[in-house]
Amino acid sequence: MNASVVYYTKSGNTKKIADAIGVEVGTQAGTIDNALTQPVDLLFLGASVYKFGIDKAVLTFIDTLTPAMVGKVAIFSTSAMSDSGYPILCKALAAKGIPVVDQHFYCKGKFAFANKNRPNEEDVQNAKTFAKSAMMA
């Protein structure tokens, strides 16, 4: 199974998790600006919550995906206080006919004075465990 890791970040929290997942699955994580150039069995997609939603750039990226290019997606997300972006991302991927693995990764991300040092080392280790498990799903 081959895997890619792509993410969108405004302040680096999602990148930190993406890089850890990349290390775990043996690939370099890249931003959503790097379009997929070849089919991938498992795409790790990282997107966090802004203004109670997902940035439009991520939804535009999902719109470029096809079932021929992406076997399934594993989602990871961070936020300061509200829930993960998982439900919104699932809905967008379902509309494209792309399956999403049941498990997803979520942790708090620092924002202003909240969640200092998050994602922390424990979050990074949990993200790696998630990645390993998604690769076996």
Ligand X SMILES: Cc1cc2nc3c(=O)[nH]c(=O)nc-3n(C[C@H](O)[C@H](O)[C@H](O)COP(=O)(O)O)c2cc1C
| Stretch binding ligand X (CB under 6 A), from 26-34, 42-50, 58-66, 68-76 | 42-50
Query: Using the rule CB under 6 A, is 50 a contact of ligand X?
Result: yes
- Shortest spacing between CB 68 and ligand X, in angstroms: 29
Residues of span 71-130 touching ligand X by CB under 6 A = 78-82, 109-111
Our finding on whether 13 is near ligand X (CB under 6 A) is yes
Task: Among 9, 58, 123, 130, indicate the residue that binds ligand X (CB under 6 A).
Answer: 9
- # residues near ligand X by CB under 6 A: 19
Q: Which of 22, 107, 36 is nearest to 67 (CA)?
A: 36
Q: How far is the CB of 39 from ligand X (least distance, A)?
A: 27
Q: Which CB sits closer to ligand X, 28 or 68?
A: 28
Of the candidates 57, 3, 7, 65, which has an alpha carbon nearest to the alpha carbon of residue 31? Answer: 7
Separation CA 37–CA 17 (nearest Å): 23
Contacts of 91 (CB under 8 A, 6+ apart): none
Q: Which of 105, 41, 50, 100 is nearest to 79 (CA)?
A: 50
Would you say 50 or 126 has its CB closer to ligand X? 50
The residue nearest ligand X at its CB is 109
> 């939603």: which residue's tokens?
53
CA contacts within 13 A on the Cβ side of 42? 22
Structure tokens at 136: 């076996």
- Binding interface with ligand X (CB under 6 A): 9-14, 48-52, 78-82, 109-111
